[in-house]
Amino acid sequence: MRNVSTSVVAVALGCAWGIPAQAQETDRQSIARELAEMRAQMQAMASRIDSLESELAAANARADAASVAAAGATETALAAQAEALKPAAKPPVKIAWKGAPVIEGEGGWSFKIRGRVNVDAGFFDVPDSTGRDDGFGSEVRRARIGAEGTIPGGFGYKFEAGLGPDLAITDAFVTYTDKGLTLIVGHQNTFQSLEELTSSLHIPFTERAAFTDAFGFERRLGVGVTYASGPVLLEGGVFTDNYAALPNGNLSFDGRAVYAPKLGETQLHLGASVHRTELESGNSVRYRQRPFEHFTGERFVDTGSMAASGETGVGLEAAMIAGRLDLSGEAFWQTVSRPGLANPTFFGGYAQIGYFLTHGDRRGYKYGMFDRVRPANPVGAGGIGAVQVAARYDYLDLSDKGIVGGRQQAYQLALAWSQTDYTKLYLSYSRLQYRDAVHPAAGGDTSYGADALVMRAQVDF
């Protein structure tokens, strides 16, 4: 029994000792597995970290490249924007078109070729018994070429001469302008009459009012000054004579004042002028006029030559431009100083009305003169140009104080078609009535009528 007990105890002790040993073995294996798993996970994590670091490095590299590219693009864009914001470099030479090229350089230089051609043809009819030539006639009324421009410092110049067998200088002067003051030195128009100072290019009739030619208005060599401020224009000068009559000791003084306000779209013009010429001893004057066409040499009013020591002229002017309508009129008195004799006063004047048949057109006006007609719808741009009709009553009386030079009255109609700013066709008709004409008709009659019809083609540049 005791042996059995001993055996039982031994078996029990053996079991008691063997069970913990087995359990410890199991725990070691489990821990080993867990450690192995943890090492595997740590290795995976390390591999993942390495991969993430590689991806981050690649991403950083791409970001750096993108930043560099963006910075470069921004710099390029900013440079382009800065370049775009820079003021455009002005070309050294600019060319515009005003009938001919106008070349403008830096600093105030400019140059333009200028010129004009008027070709006339028409009919003149006078009683046959006067024995004067009439019928068809034609001529190149004007053909001129010249140049004008500006010089730095406020200076300018203009030269123009007529073409033909004998060179005829018209304008040849230099100017200096400072604000509203202009000094003009050279061969130029004196300051007489709205009609005379308005270019022949810009009138609706083929010839100016009769008194402007009859009283010898012409360009003279001298010095003129003009001052313009708002609607006020003042002009004056001291002149010798036309270059073709020089040398001589003749001297003239001219002055003109204009008030030209605008009332809305209406342009008004009021003016007055005075002229005084002192003539050398032994000089004479002669006043006469053609019958509103230039291709005849006939004159039916003529004072003949008169010994004179001087002449004094006084003129009044008025005009209005209101849309397509324009009105103008002048009166001029010319008194001749005759040594030891009565001083006759001769008179000339006109009243004129014009109207544009085409919408949007009107007479131009600038610097105390009528200016160029610029068609609102010129030929070549889908329009027919500007069409103007005009009527004028013209009066010239060359008889006074024993001088019987005759009287001429004219009733005139005109049609002027400006296709463009620089081309024009005219048709002018004049019915003339004479009294005390210098060429008598049958029976010694000096009161009779005459007719003149003139067509003109014109281009200027």
Q: How far apart are CA 236 and CA 161, in angstroms?
A: 24
Q: How far apart are CA 150 and CA 174, in angstroms?
A: 9
- Sign of the dihedral through C-alpha 16, 17, 22, 23: positive
User: Would you state the structure tokens that stand for residue 256, as one six-digit string?
Assistant: 């003109």
Would the pTM count as exceeding 0.75? yes
Q: Closest Cα to residue 428, out of 394, 399, 391?
A: 391
pLDDT at 409: 98
What is the chain's alpha carbon radius of gyration, rounded to the nearest angstrom?
49
Is residue 86 exposed (0-12), middle (13-18) or buried (19+ Cβ within 10 Å)? Answer: exposed
Q: Could you tell me which CATH class the domain 120-138+197-460 is placed in? A: mainly beta
Q: How far apart are CA 422 and CA 385, in angstroms?
A: 11
User: H or E element: which one contains 223?
Assistant: strand 219-229
User: Would you state the structure tokens that stand for residue 365, as one six-digit string?
Assistant: 């006006």
How many Cα atoms sit within 13 Å of 108 on the Cβ side? 10
pLDDT at 40: 75
Q: How far apart are CA 457 and CA 117, in angstroms?
A: 8
Q: How far apart are CA 196 and CA 214, in angstroms?
A: 12
Paired with 155 in beta bridges are 151, 176
Looking at residue 176, its amino acid is Y
Query: What pairing do the DSSP bridges indicate for beta strands 345-356 and 135-151?
Result: unpaired
pLDDT at 12: 39
Chain-centre distance of CA 61, in angstroms? 65
Looking at residue 299, its amino acid is R
pLDDT in tens, the chain (461 residues): 444 344 433 433 343 434 444 545 566 777 777 777 777 777 777 777 777 677 777 767 776 766 666 566 666 766 677 666 666 566 688 998 888 999 999 888 999 999 999 999 999 999 999 999 999 999 999 999 999 999 999 999 999 999 877 679 999 999 999 999 999 999 999 999 999 999 999 999 999 999 999 999 999 999 999 999 999 999 999 999 999 999 999 999 999 999 999 999 999 999 999 999 999 999 999 999 999 999 999 999 999 999 999 999 999 999 999 999 999 999 999 999 999 999 999 999 999 999 999 999 999 999 999 999 999 999 999 999 999 999 999 999 999 999 999 999 999 999 999 999 999 999 999 999 999 999 999 999 999 999 999 999 999 99
Q: What is the pLDDT of residues 271-306, one digit of tens each?
A: 999 999 999 999 999 999 999 999 999 999 999 999
pLDDT at 63: 63
Q: How far apart are CA 349 and CA 297, in angstroms?
A: 22
pLDDT at 23: 47
Count of CB atoms within 10 A of residue 316's CB?
16
Tokens 């199991």 -> residue = 26
